[in-house]
Amino acid sequence: MDQYKALIGLEMHCEISKTNTKVFSSAKNSYEDTPNTNIRPVDMAFPGTLPVVNKEAVRKALMASIILNCKQPEYIYFERKNYYYPDLPKGFQITQETKPAPVGIYGELTYEVGEETKTIRVNNIHLEEDAASSTHHEDTTTINYNRAGVPLLELVTEPDFHSAEEAVSFLETMRSIYQYANISEADSKKGQIRCDVNVSIMDASLDEKDPKNWGTKIEIKNVNSFGGVRDAINYEIKRQIELKEDGKYDEMEQQTRRFDEETGTTIYMRSKVDAIDYKYFVEPNIPKFKLDPKWLEEIKATIPPLATERRDKYINELGVSPRDAKIIVKEKPLADYFEETVSLGANPQSAANWINSIILGHLNKMEKTIEELFLTPKMLKGLIDLVESSKISGKQAKEVLTKSLEEEKDPVKLVSELGMSQITDEAELTKIIKEVIEENPTQLESYKKNPKLFDYFVGQVMKKTRGKANPALSAKILKEELDK
């Protein structure tokens, strides 16, 4: 591999899920509803229907363009991409081509790969409509037109990635941006993110800035998960290197392949020569729209704090460890959950500890999202407070939280149900400790010579109280009583 360098570019499609209605239709933009219920006549292309642009979708698209440091156009136009497919009732998709300019061109974004910071060039980002979703059964296919017309952002990068790891890190960064900017849930499980990947290899010794040195570009269509992107890139690099080593690379034509999830391989679809001519032209039913620089300023001013900004705040203002802060901001819903818990008055580092250990572990195990979690930030705060005020020990809290998540019960209620509260009453503890000392005269004698036996007495106290004795207080009293 060292002999070769891979050049990888991405086309990332992400549905804008955070608008009330579709991009050119007044039907509801919703993923969950019963199939074929969110439909207006225009979504089924009934004769005489016309597209009407959803300004909120344009606003969100422009926000993404600004975040990606792209240049915004003077006018907003839309174009028709003409092709026949059952999921596209009009027979054309309303989209934006590069001429006239889409919502954003020529941007760049820095992102992190492990500890390293890298920069990727963005060729363009454009706003378009999604097609209906198809479900293929054994001998039939069903179509759900709820998705027809859902706003979709397509981001096209330059071939600036060199590894699957870089590409996936960039996708994770973009997902985070879409979530934090309230543009999209960006959930690939809901099919909201879909990628096309292009891969070529070249001699590592040559200058990659000169396109003449680039290899043959292979496009891989419809890769629908980040794991898939990683596997497709790795497979394709390996395949192309093998061709090179076998001396067959130069015979390889520019082509489109598809990723097969089952086998983790890419499969030939069509040659570049057979590429579809989409016969683009400007959509005549949407008048060109002059972008007011004031509106762009307004949009810029309303970009919510993104992940890195929130992470820095957690570290610098809330005193959360960098490691924990980084984990929390990875998914916006998790960061929101954390912030709500803290805003209720919980200790930030304790909240981070519980979220990153037991709660995340539970979510992963149950394949749930934080939104589906039974435990509310208020409940978590209650539990943290019990530990803070020494009502229960950390060990007990761990036990309670696990039980609470499993049985879907309020942890504070569980603590009282299980009679788990710590013994923090000094008089009560002194009484118990005196009993323990009386019951162990031989050990008391040995202790006088060997202070290491102190731990033995601690254990006896815990045993007698079934772990409910407050450890710090017990130790203090025990020391006093033993040294008397």
Partner 1 sequence: MEYMNKSIEEIHEALKKGEVTSKELIQESLKKSHELQEKCNAFVTILDDAKEQIVTEEVLSGIPYGIKDNYSTKGILSTGSSNTLKDYVPFFTATAIENLEKHGAVAVGKTVMDEFGMGGTGTTGHTGIVKNPWDTTRMCAGSSAGSAAAVAAGVFPYATGSDTGDSIRKPAAYCGIVGYKPTYGMISRYGLFPFASSLDHCGALTRNVKDAAIVVDAMKGKDKYDMTSWDSAYIHLAESLTGEVKGKKLCYIKELCNIENYPNASTTLKEHLENFANTLEKVKSLGIEVEEVSVDKTLLNALASVYVVISCAEATSNMSNLTGFIFGPRGEGENYIDMMKDYRTKNFSPLIKRRFVIGSYVLQKENKDRYFHNAQRVRRLLVDTWNKLFEKYDAVILPVGSGPAKHLDGSIDILDKDTAPLEEHLQVGNFGGFPSITIPDGFIDGLPVALNLTGACYDDANVLNIAYAIENILGYKNQISKGGK
Q: Rule CB under 8 A: say whether 271 interacts with partner 1.
A: no
C-beta of 45 vs 475, nearer to partner 1 = 45
C-beta of 61 vs 122, nearer to partner 1 = 61
- Report the alpha-carbon distance of residue 402 to residue 396 in Å, rounded: 10
Task: Name the segment binding partner 1 (CB under 8 A); options: 89-97, 257-265, 391-399, 421-429.
Answer: 89-97
CB 178 within 8 A of CB 184: yes
Q: Rule CB under 8 A: say whether 281 interacts with partner 1.
A: yes
- Scanning residues 332 to 371, which ones bind partner 1 (CB under 8 A)? none
C-beta of 92 vs 259, nearer to partner 1 = 92
- Report the alpha-carbon distance of residue 25 to residue 140 in Å, rounded: 28
C-beta of 24 vs 259, nearer to partner 1 = 24
Contact with partner 1 (CB under 8 A) among 45, 291, 315, 475: 45
Q: Which residues pair with 111 in a beta bridge?
A: 118
Give the three-class secondary structure for 228. helix
CB 103 within 8 A of CB 72: yes
Q: Rule CB under 8 A: say whether 277 interacts with partner 1.
A: yes
DSSP string of 180-226? HTTS----GGGT-EEEEEEEEEEETTS-TTSGGG----EEEEEE-SH
- Report the alpha-carbon distance of residue 59 to residue 101 in Å, rounded: 16
C-beta of 89 vs 411, nearer to partner 1 = 89
Contact with partner 1 (CB under 8 A) among 227, 287, 293, 361: 287
Q: Which residue has 């005549």 as its token pair?
A: 284
C-beta of 141 vs 316, nearer to partner 1 = 141
Please give the size of the binding site for partner 1, defined by CB under 8 A.
26
C-beta of 285 vs 357, nearer to partner 1 = 285
- Report the alpha-carbon distance of residue 477 to residue 12 in Å, rounded: 64
Contact with partner 1 (CB under 8 A) among 55, 86, 110, 472: 86
Between strands 255-260 and 218-223, the pairing is parallel
DSSP-derived secondary structure letter, 63: H
Q: Rule CB under 8 A: say whether 41 interacts with partner 1.
A: yes
One character per residue 49-68, x = contact with partner 1 (rule: CB under 8 A): xxxxx---------------
C-beta of 107 vs 151, nearer to partner 1 = 151
C-beta of 52 vs 113, nearer to partner 1 = 52
- Report the alpha-carbon distance of residue 297 to residue 158 in Å, rounded: 27
Q: Rule CB under 8 A: say whether 92 interacts with partner 1.
A: yes
Q: Which residues pair with 96 in a beta bridge?
A: none
- Phi and psi for 22 in degrees, rounded to 5? -70, 175
Q: What single letter denotes the amino acid at residue 29?
A: N
DSSP-derived secondary structure letter, 282: E
Question: Cβ atoms within 10 A of the Cβ of 475, count?
Answer: 16
Q: Rule CB under 8 A: say whether 47 interacts with partner 1.
A: yes
Q: Rule CB under 8 A: say whether 101 interacts with partner 1.
A: no
C-beta of 45 vs 453, nearer to partner 1 = 45
Q: Rule CB under 8 A: say whether 246 interacts with partner 1.
A: no
Shortest distance, position 278 Cβ to partner 1, whole Å: 9
- Scanning residues 450 to 469, which ones bind partner 1 (CB under 8 A)? none
CB 199 within 8 A of CB 162: no
Q: Which residue has 């033993």 as its token pair?
A: 482
Q: Rule CB under 8 A: say whether 274 interacts with partner 1.
A: no
Task: Name the segment binding partner 1 (CB under 8 A); options: 40-48, 117-125, 261-269, 316-324.
Answer: 40-48
Angle between helices 322-329 and 332-343 (to 10 degrees): 120
Q: What single letter denotes the amino acid at residue 198?
A: N
- Report the alpha-carbon distance of residue 278 to residue 82 in Å, rounded: 5
CB 5 within 8 A of CB 203: yes
Q: Rule CB under 8 A: say whether 90 interacts with partner 1.
A: yes
Contact with partner 1 (CB under 8 A) among 285, 302, 389, 446: 285
Q: Rule CB under 8 A: say whether 286 interacts with partner 1.
A: yes
Contact with partner 1 (CB under 8 A) among 30, 36, 69, 82: 82
For residue 350, give the nearest of 318, 326, 316 by alpha carbon: 318
Which residues bind to partner 1, rule: CB under 8 A? 41, 44-53, 80, 82, 84, 86, 89-92, 277, 279, 281, 284-287
